Amino acid sequence: MSEKAIQPKIANREVTMHILKAFGLRMSKKLGQNFLIDASIVQGIVDAAEIEEGDRVLEIGPGIGTLTQGLAEAGADVTAVELDKKLPAVLAETLKGYDNVRIVPGDILKVNIPEIMGDAPFKVAANLPYYITTPILMALLERHLPITHMVTMVQKEVALRMVAKPGGKDYGALSVAVQYYTEPEIVLDVPPRSFIPAPEVDSVVIACKVRETPAVEVVDEKMFFRVVKAAFGQRRKTLANALKGGGLPKEQVRDAMERAGIDPTRRGETLTLAEFGELADAFSAMAQ
Ligand code: SAM
């Protein structure tokens, strides 16, 4: 019998407590360390990512290897990037016997992802450190990496922003960016008791299927996100004033809105992705 076959599931309170004790680990709040102790949630992430034998998976923040083990058991080829310098030595023990796991020490916001993952398509699976959820999601999306699925555990409040539709308070630049690149769907509610230590917030697993082409076709993606950022930068202002205050050429704002057929007294949070696209294209046309 191979060594891994007798290894217990890490996603369990007793096993996790034992590992923490055995390695003298103190969990770091600063690094967003809340380790999963519920095997059904690990399985839920593996299922949502539709993991098949041989799938290449980038995991962010493996911790002590809880989700990593689930991914590896499902046959994925896992590359896991961990910032905490103490953890690679622990992972070498907890994941002993899995030859389909590679640990890369480093900061996910700084590592060169194309260098570690190569050009072939891959999936992302992670129980994210909540203090940098948005920067991580944005970095993964904006770089046009060959990602097909992104399944992450995030704070519920962030997930609600990711799936929000125009008109409500949750709709913002993150909603537009996530929906521009992906089709997000909340797949699991995860209570605080599923982690050690229990976080102060509710969590969810959100599955984002990356679109083959973005949700709207625009002439200049940079302009699209410039307009989106400006529109949500000053939410209480009318769209026209928010765009002027947000760095778009003041003298072009009225014309661009007219060309796009958008009433200047509307607020940014009421615009659909298609309308943001038309507005961005109007600015692009005038910049030529
Ligand atoms: N995957 C484990 C689990 O599900 O139990 C741990 C998840 S814990 C919420 C987040 C992990 O991300 C921690 O292990 C933490 O050390 C790591 N981390 C924090 N900041 C990071 C960064 N910038 N780059 C890579 N990993 C990071």
- In a domain, residue 2? The reply is no
Q: Is 254 left (phi over 0), alpha (psi -120 to 50) or beta?
A: alpha
Question: Is the separation of the CB atoms in 262 and 278 below 8 Å?
Answer: yes
Residue 121: half-sphere exposure toward Cβ, Cα within 13 Å: 9
User: Ligand 1 mean position to 128 CA, how many Å?
Assistant: 6
> What's residue 264's pLDDT?
86
> Domain check: are 190 and 231 in the same one?
no
- In a domain, residue 7? The reply is no
The model's pLDDT over 200-215, given as tens digits with 9 standing for 90+, comes to 999 999 999 999 999 9
d(CA 283, CA 22): 60
User: Ligand 1 mean position to 130 CA, how many Å?
Assistant: 9
> What's residue 1's pLDDT?
43
User: Which ligand 1 atom is at minimum distance from the Cα of 35?
Assistant: 5
DSSP state of 131: G
The model's pLDDT over 127-136, given as tens digits with 9 standing for 90+, comes to 999 999 999 9
> What's residue 20's pLDDT?
97
Residue 196: half-sphere exposure toward Cβ, Cα within 13 Å: 19
Q: What is the extent of the structural domain holding 280?
A: 221-287
Is the minimum distance from the CB of 65 to ligand 1 under 6 angstroms? Answer: no
User: Ligand 1 mean position to 32 CA, how many Å?
Assistant: 6
- In a domain, residue 17? The reply is yes
Q: Which residues of the chain have pLDDT under 70?
A: 1-6
Nearest CA owner, ligand 1 atom 6: 63
* CATH at residue 230: 1.10.8.100
> What's residue 235's pLDDT?
84
Is the minimum distance from the CB of 62 to ligand 1 under 6 angstroms? Answer: yes
User: Which ligand 1 atom is at minimum distance from the Cα of 62?
Assistant: 1
- In a domain, residue 215? The reply is no
> Domain check: are 28 and 50 in the same one?
yes
